[in-house]
Amino acid sequence: KAGVTQTPRYLIKTRGQQVTLSCSPISGHRSVSWYQQTPGQGLQFLFEYFSETQRNKGNFPGRFSGRQFSNSRSEMNVSTLELGDSALYLCASSSNRPGGDSTFGSGTRLTVV
Amino acid sequence: DQQVKQNSPSLSVQEGRISILNCDYTNSMFDYFLWYKKYPAEGPTFLISISSIKDKNEDGRFTVFLNKSAKHLSLHIVPSQPGDSAVYFCAASAGSGGSNYKLTFGKGTLLTVNP
């Protein structure tokens, strides 16, 4: 079965711009979570969507937002980009069953210049 | 405040020997623990998990041990193979049964298995 697909793989943006990242989960998975990975902070939870509703949120500023569509695909948006937003953004999808069946995509590498 | 800590940034072992990766946590509400493996330019891959009601879970060459009183878990890989060389992340969740939402990750340990 197809895995989690994240697009684009690489992105370069300028400070102050905004960016939208996309994640297509595994077919049948209704939960999609987003994580930010940086060398200094490691993997940090951004937010999670289930059935088009944000169910959980991490400790990130309001510039970071997301949404989920009826087909479970999710987008993440970052507005007013800062240099510190440069990171690998990972999406994970899950069937929401206990047991850690989450599957991660390969991520989007965002560079802010 | 780092709730999940992997104090060893790197570990080097010889092929065929045992690799032991350690993880400590501070949040008593964590009830499910997971290990992920990550290669460069790829997303983390789920390896093995353990519920807080158990103290050991085994899957092939991988065994995870949980010591709740010490708030410590470890991943044992026996025997280690060069293909195991990767960054290993410890993760924990509270109340979600290990589902992927709101996992708290450690910063990872780079394992190098030398032929």
Closest Cα partner for A28 from A107, A103, A91, A105?
A103
Nearest chain A residue (CA) to B6: A42
Closest Cα partner for B15 from B93, B85, B97, B80?
B80
Judge: B100–A102 Cβ closer than 8 Å, yes or no. yes
Q: Which residues in B lie closer than 8 A to residue A55 (C-beta atoms)? A: 101
How far apart, in whole angstroms, are the C-alpha atoms of residue B17 and residue A99?
Answer: 29
> pLDDT (tens digit, 9 = 90+) per residue, A13-26?
999 999 999 999 99
How far apart, in whole angstroms, are the C-alpha atoms of residue A2 and residue A28?
Answer: 11
Q: What pLDDT is attached to residue B101? A: 65
Q: What pLDDT is attached to residue A98? A: 60
Nearest chain B residue (CA) to A39: B107
How far does the CA of residue A62 sit from the closest CA of chain B (Å)?
A: 17
Q: What pLDDT is attached to residue B57? A: 96
Strand partners, A30: none
CB B36 within 8 A of CB B43: no
Q: What pLDDT is attached to residue A99? A: 56
Q: Which residues in B lie closer than 8 A to residue A100 (C-beta atoms)? A: 32, 34, 46, 49, 98-100
Backbone angles phi, psi at B84, to 5 degrees: -80, -10
HSE toward the beta carbon, residue A68, CA cutoff 13 A: 23
Does the beta carbon of B34 lie under 8 angstroms from any beta carbon of chain A?
yes
HSE toward the beta carbon, residue A45, CA cutoff 13 A: 24
> pLDDT (tens digit, 9 = 90+) per residue, A46-105?
999 999 999 889 999 999 999 999 999 999 999 999 999 999 999 999 887 665 568 899
Q: What pLDDT is attached to residue B15? A: 97
How far does the CA of residue A70 sit from the closest CA of chain B (Å)?
A: 19
Phi-psi region of B79 (alpha: psi -120 to 50; beta: other; left: phi over 0): beta
Query: Residue A36 corresponds to which tokens in the numbers above?
Result: 């930010």
Q: Is the dihedral of CA B105, B31, A99, A69 positive or negative?
A: negative
Query: Which range is least confidently modeled, A4-8, A16-20, A39-43?
Result: A39-43
Sorted by sequence, the CB contacts under 8 Å of residue B100 that are 6+ apart come out as: A31, A33, A48, A92, A93, A94, A100, A101, A102
How far apart, in whole angstroms, are the C-alpha atoms of residue A9 and residue A89?
Answer: 10
pLDDT by residue for chain B (115 residues), tens digit each? 689 999 999 999 999 999 999 999 999 999 889 999 999 878 899 899 998 999 999 999 999 999 999 999 999 999 999 999 999 999 998 876 545 567 889 999 999 999 9
